[in-house]
């Protein structure tokens, strides 16, 4: 996914968090080999120097519990640093990497501190110290949200945040355009399947039956298979049967049962009638 993401990162909840913010976001970290950057690998130092040519960078990170979620970030995504009931700073994700030794040099102050397994540099940092109401008054936010815990902002809320905090950069504009293009591609209209008039999709075409009892093929008009037998009217019929050639409708067993009069629970019929079974009809 290339759509723009926004990460809300609490940074001022306790004295240690405030110290981390003051030393690695409010102030940049030198990339010289004499300081914490001595723990960087050659490839990491080269990538950071290419992205931060002035020789210093600002860093933030996340513990191992957030590694999977943080791996969805990409360069140019936005980070809102919150704390003390304010949005303290805004920046963009830069180079992402893992280096426990470098993280310990930056943020580990005693043995009880958690390890920061995920590290990323932050570009375009602006220290704004803006009241959090500017964020929580936007659509989709709860005005009473304490903004504790790291979280991602949902897609419908991204553009209002960009406008409200006047976030302008080439990477942000590119990601917004790419996200719009992805949404348009995902909502393509698929043309329907054309079918012949009077014919449903996936079913064989209907067949016609001629007056003589032959089944006709609907597309060729040629007789295929005879259905039943052709009555000529010359077959002998039982005595007493009507002379009409119309075949009487067959009756089910349940309908023949209903022809008998209903009986009371005592076994007697509702009304006086013959209890003899009527003469069967002609076939």
Residue with tokens 């996340």: 62
Tell me the per-residue pLDDT of 136-184, one tens digit each, with 9 for 90 and over: 999 999 999 999 889 999 888 999 999 999 998 888 888 888 777 777 7
pLDDT of amino acid 229: 46
Q: Residue 194 burial (CB < 10 Å; 0-12/13-18/19+)? A: exposed
pLDDT of amino acid 169: 86
Average pLDDT over residues 89-105: 95
Nearest-Å Rg of the Cα atoms of the chain is 42
Tell me the per-residue pLDDT of 175-213, one tens digit each, with 9 for 90 and over: 888 777 777 776 554 555 555 555 555 555 555 555 444
For all residues of the chain together, what is the average pLDDT?
A: 78
- Could you state, in order of their start, the residue ranges of all structural domains in the chain? 6-184
Sign of the CA dihedral running 164, 170, 173, 175: negative
The architecture of the domain spanning 6-184 is: Roll (3.10)
Chain mean position to CA 218: 45
Least confident of 19-28, 97-106, 150-159, 192-201: 192-201
pLDDT of amino acid 170: 86
- Locate 162 and state its tokens: 């960009």
pLDDT of amino acid 110: 84
Tell me the per-residue pLDDT of 64-77, one tens digit each, with 9 for 90 and over: 888 889 989 999 99
pLDDT of amino acid 67: 85
* CA atoms of 169 and 117, how far apart (whole Å): 28
- Res 282 pLDDT > 60: no
Tell me the per-residue pLDDT of 235-278, one tens digit each, with 9 for 90 and over: 555 555 555 555 555 555 555 555 555 555 555 555 555 555 55
* Residue 279 pLDDT grade (very low, low, confident, very high; cuts 50, 70, 90): low
Q: What is the biggest distance separating any 2 CA atoms in the chain, rounded to whole angstroms?
A: 122
Average pLDDT over residues 28-44: 93
* CA atoms of 252 and 33, how far apart (whole Å): 98
- Res 232 pLDDT > 50: no
């Amino acid at each position: 996914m290339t759509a723009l993401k926004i990460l809300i990162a609490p940074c001022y909840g306790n004295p240690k968090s405030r110290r981390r913010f003051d030393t690695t976001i409010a102030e940049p970290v030198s990339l010289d080999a004499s300081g914490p950057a001595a723990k960087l690998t050659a490839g990491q130092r080269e990538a950071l120097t290419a992205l931060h040519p002035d020789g210093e960078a600002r860093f933030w990170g996340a513990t191992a519990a957030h590694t999977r979620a943080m791996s969805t970030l990409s360069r140019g995504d936005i980070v809102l640093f919150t704390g003390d009931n304010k949005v303290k700073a805004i920046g963009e994700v830069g180079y992402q990497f893992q280096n426990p030794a470098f993280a310990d040099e930056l943020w580990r102050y005693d043995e009880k501190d958690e390890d920061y397994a995920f590290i990323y540099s932050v570009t375009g940092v602006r220290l704004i110290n803006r009241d959090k109401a500017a964020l929580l008054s936007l659509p989709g936010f709860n005005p009473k949200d304490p903004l504790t815990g790291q979280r991602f902002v949902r897609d419908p809320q991204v553009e209002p945040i960009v406008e409200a905090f006047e976030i302008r950069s080439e990477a942000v504009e590119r990601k917004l355009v790419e996200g719009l293009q992805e949404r348009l591609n995902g909502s393509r209209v698929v043309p329907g399947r054309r079918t012949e008039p009077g014919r449903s999709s996936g079913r064989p075409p209907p067949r016609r039956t001629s007056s003589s009892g032959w089944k006709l093929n609907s597309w060729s008009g040629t007789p295929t298979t005879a259905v039943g037998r052709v009555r000529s009217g010359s077959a002998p019929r039982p005595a007493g049967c009507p002379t009409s050639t119309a075949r009487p409708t067959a009756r089910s067993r349940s309908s023949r049962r209903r022809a008998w009069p209903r009986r009371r629970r005592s076994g007697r019929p509702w009304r006086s009638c013959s209890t003899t079974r009527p003469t069967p009809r002609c076939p």
